[in-house]
Structure 1
Amino acid sequence: MPPLLRGLTASISIAAGYLPIAFSFGLAAHQAGLDAHVILMSSVIIYAGASQFVLIALLAPGANLLAAIPTVLLMNARHLFYGPALLGRFTDPTHRLASPLLAFGLTDEVFAAAMNKLESIAPPEKERWYLGLQIGAYAAWILGTLLAIVLGGEFRDPPVFLGEALSFILPGLFFALLLDLNLSRWARIVVLTAAIGIILLQFLPVHHTLALAMVGGAAFNLPERRP
């Protein structure tokens, strides 16, 4: 199978999560009164998941772009670290695809999947495999947004169970990606991070707990210094 198609196949698990998340974004944007073309172009151009939900919260009450754009950029500043970490996995000296093309589709889930699987891809095929991974995820996000635009009028008052189900999609997606890793290799870090999170959750809000637990788990994974 060509590497591009293998990348598309590898994106199925991400696409399965992106469809309902993008649908919920489009539905929220539609209910906030944003025009259909604005909703669609935000997914086509911005393609930034949580940042698009924040953009709705800022633009719907009338905030101007001078306030919205810096907020979105700051939320996505983590990609400044994702890019260099991922670029080191492309070891083939014949670099064919432009870096902006490789960078555009870089999301949290694409990064996690690529970091896990690129090592098993032959060096000359890595870029095309990664491009397929990106295309599958991006297409699912656009499709989910389009479905929300088309069907938005049918969900003026969505049932409670639908909102609860959509809110679990993103954690479920990350859990599925975690299961796709070699957990025996990372078991100590996963257990330590979970333990830190459970303890801190008794004293801190969820968003603080999540950030501190990730930092704590990463600190335990620092390489040991050799004499």
Structure 2
Amino acid sequence: MDPTVVGQTTTGGSVDSRSRAHRREVGAGALAMLPLLIGYVPFGLLVGVAVSRSTDWLAAWTGTITVYGGSAQLALLELTAGGAAAWTAAGAAVLVNARLLVYGIALLPTFASARLPVRLAAAAFVIEPTWVVALQRAESPGTVSERRWHYAGATVVLTVGWLLVVTAGLALGQLSTPALGVIGPLCLVAVVAPHLRLPGGVAAVVAAVAATTLGVAMALPSGAIPLLAMAAAVAAGLGTTRNGRPEGTRG
């Protein structure tokens, strides 16, 4: 057999093999994201309802992609609705999303060697669920390229799913349906419950509730109350842990 033909066959087979591996990773990343996306449905509906109450709901809905962070988008909408200056609302959103810098640094081993467009695209979609899926994949065998495709599959599912959920919340808000009354409690359960299992989680939740109650009693602007609650939760969570362990544990 002609060695040239053998080389071409081998190369073609190698390319096909990599292509199949990448498709598998995209599918695996999409499947890994589905349970996380389902957990965010109540929160997405709540954001959608907030969008529907904006004076310019189309611009507010567009923020679902440009802000790409439910907490930051909700803070932005609430502060704007409360009459806060544009720079104040934008500053609050940036502050809420500042945590994403830490997540981005954690993903450097996967994307540091990628081309600039790939790094920029990956950075644009760094958020808690994509970060979690990426870290879980990094703990399994595989190439850097496979991990990137896994991240891509997870990102597509989260982005499309989040847009659909927020849009559904927007429709519910415009319909003024009685179902809106259950969205808040569902969101609270979905967001709070996972944190109760973490070190310092109970203290963080209690501190957040206390801070929220205080903020309401002091008649603080509605957009400032979530920021106060988050700060109290972080302080309480850190205060009840030592070296990554809950206080009272040893070893």
Q: What TM-score range do you get, normalising by the shorter chain?
A: 0.7 to 0.9
1:83 is matched by which residue type in structure 2?
A: G
Asked if 1:193 is matched to 2:200, the reply is yes
- Structure-1 residue corresponding to 2:43: 21
> Could you say which structure has the larger radius of gyration?
2
DSSP-derived class of the 1:139 partner: helix
Does the CA contact (< 8 Å) of 1:9 and 1:133 recur in 2? Answer: yes
Offset of 1:158 from its aligned partner? Answer: 4.2
After TM superposition, the score normalised by the length of structure 2 is 0.68
* Aligned equivalents of 2:159, 2:141: Cα separation in 1: 21
- Structure-2 residue corresponding to 1:101: 121
Deviation string 1:46-82 (CA, Å, 9 cap, x unpaired) is 1111111111111113333222212111111111221
- Structure-1 residue corresponding to 2:27: 5
* Aligned equivalents of 1:34, 1:121: Cα separation in 2: 50
Asked if 1:120 is matched to 2:140, the reply is yes
- Structure-1 residue corresponding to 2:74: 53
Offset of 1:113 from its aligned partner? Answer: 3.1
* 2:233 paired residue among 206, 210, 214: 210
Offset of 1:84 from its aligned partner? Answer: 1.1
Offset of 1:131 from its aligned partner? Answer: 1.2
Does the CA contact (< 8 Å) of 2:200 and 2:237 recur in 1? Answer: yes
Does the CA contact (< 8 Å) of 1:25 and 1:145 recur in 2? Answer: yes
**Quick one: structure 1 residues 155 and 91, their matched pair in 2 at CA, closer, same or farther if it must change by over 3 Å?**
closer
Q: Over aligned residues, Cα RMSD in angstroms? A: 3.1
Does the CA contact (< 8 Å) of 1:18 and 1:140 recur in 2? Answer: no
Give the length in aligned residue pairs. 202
* 2:64 paired residue among 34, 43, 47: 43
Does the CA contact (< 8 Å) of 2:54 and 2:77 recur in 1? Answer: no
* Aligned equivalents of 1:220, 1:134: Cα separation in 2: 32
**Quick one: structure 1 residues 163 and 70, their matched pair in 2 at CA, closer, same or farther if it must change by over 3 Å?**
closer
My pick for the range that moved more, 204-213 or 133-142, is 204-213
1:16 is matched by which residue type in structure 2?
A: I
Deviation string 1:99-150 (CA, Å, 9 cap, x unpaired) is 1111111112322332233221512300010111122111111111111223
Offset of 1:217 from its aligned partner? Answer: 6.7
**Quick one: structure 1 residues 160 and 92, their matched pair in 2 at CA, closer, same or farther if it must change by over 3 Å?**
closer
* Aligned equivalents of 2:55, 2:100: Cα separation in 1: 27
Asked if 1:168 is matched to 2:168, the reply is no
Asked if 1:152 is matched to 2:173, the reply is yes
Q: Which runs of 5+ in 2 are unaligned?
A: 1-22, 213-228, 246-251
My pick for the range that moved more, 66-75 or 210-219, is 210-219
Identity percentage over the alignment? 21
1:220 is matched by which residue type in structure 2?
A: N
**Quick one: structure 1 residues 34 and 47, their matched pair in 2 at CA, closer, same or farther if it must change by over 3 Å?**
farther
**Quick one: structure 1 residues 152 and 125, their matched pair in 2 at CA, closer, same or farther if it must change by over 3 Å?**
same
DSSP-derived class of the 1:169 partner: helix
Give 4+ residue runs of structure 1 displaced > 4 Å after superposition.
156-159, 216-219
* Aligned equivalents of 1:145, 1:33: Cα separation in 2: 14
Asked if 1:138 is matched to 2:159, the reply is yes
* Aligned equivalents of 1:46, 1:26: Cα separation in 2: 14
After TM superposition, the score normalised by the length of structure 1 is 0.74
Does the CA contact (< 8 Å) of 2:172 and 2:180 recur in 1? Answer: no
